[in-house]
A and B are shown apart, each in its own frame.
Chain A
Amino acid sequence: NAGVTQTPKFQVLKTGQSMTLQCAQDMNHNSMYWYRQDPGMGLRLIYYSASEGTTDKGEVPNGYNVSRLNKREFSLRLESAAPSQTSVYFCATARQMNTGELFFGEGSRLTVL
């Protein structure tokens, strides 16, 4: 039982390049989230999806797009990467939107040069 799987685990990009972070879950959870983690700032919400077919902006959505492909998969896209997007990205899931804890993937470290 893999839980929440993120790919890739590490990526180095040049400024202006694009890339997509993939997230897949086998927990049959309805809600999925993308966070970024920066030193001294904890985790900040980028986008979330309450259920299949819906997505909403979080605290720091600028420069990102998301797609909830189906119930299992939620991808995060950087169309034109900037050095300020260097961070560790976490995908997370929850059984429902309003209750309970989040279950996290292992994180993806992205460096933009």
Chain B
Amino acid sequence: AQTVTQSQPEMSVQEAETVTLSCTYDTSESDYYLFWYKQPPSRQMILVIRQEAYKQQNATENRFSVNFQKAAKSFSLKISDSQLGDAAMYFCAYRRGNDMRFGAGTRLTVKP
């Protein structure tokens, strides 16, 4: 079974600064998808960014970007120019077919 590990239970960042959240995963497959989801206190799961494993180029969505290292099975999320509204739980997820696994999450605090 594939596992997803987020080694940072909590992180904090100063407003306007940059923070990187770590994620590693275990798989023997070569074709899969990776995601970062944000869960604010409202509990809603919101997709932040996605990465197809066959694409070498790192995905970017405005202030959010990833560092995808396929050989190292690493998928980190970088948030630039952090805003108060970025405070939330962040979940890394791996998907192949009907198997979608989530990490335990990283709680991000943004300090004004």
Binding site for B on A (CB under 8 A): 31, 33, 40-45, 48, 50, 56, 59, 88, 90, 92, 97-104, 106-107
Contacts and interface: CB of A to CB of B under 8 A. Distances in A.
B87 to A, nearest CB: 18
Given A98-B96, A104-B44, 15 more contacts: A31-B98, A40-B104, A40-B105, A42-B102, A45-B101, A48-B98, A50-B98, A90-B45, A101-B35, A101-B50, A101-B95, A102-B45, A103-B47, A106-B43, A107-B45
A88 B50 CA distance: 24
Chain B interface size, under 10 / 10 to 19 / 20 to 34 / 35 or more? 20 to 34
A94 to B, nearest CB: 9
27 contacts: A31-B98, A33-B100, A40-B9, A40-B105, A42-B102, A42-B103, A42-B104, A42-B105, A45-B99, A45-B100, A48-B98, A50-B98, A56-B98, A59-B1, A92-B45, A97-B97, A98-B98, A99-B33, A100-B50, A101-B33, A101-B35, A101-B47, A104-B44, A104-B45, A106-B42, A106-B44, A107-B44
A42 B97 contact: no
Contacts of A104: 44-45
Interface string B1-36: 100100001000000000000000000000001010
B91 interface: yes
By CB atoms of chain A within 10 A, which of B9, B45, B96, B105 has the most?
B45
B33 A100 contact: yes
B98 A88 contact: no
A88 B41 CA distance: 13
B99 to A, nearest CB: 8
Nearest to A99: B33
Nearest to A38: B104
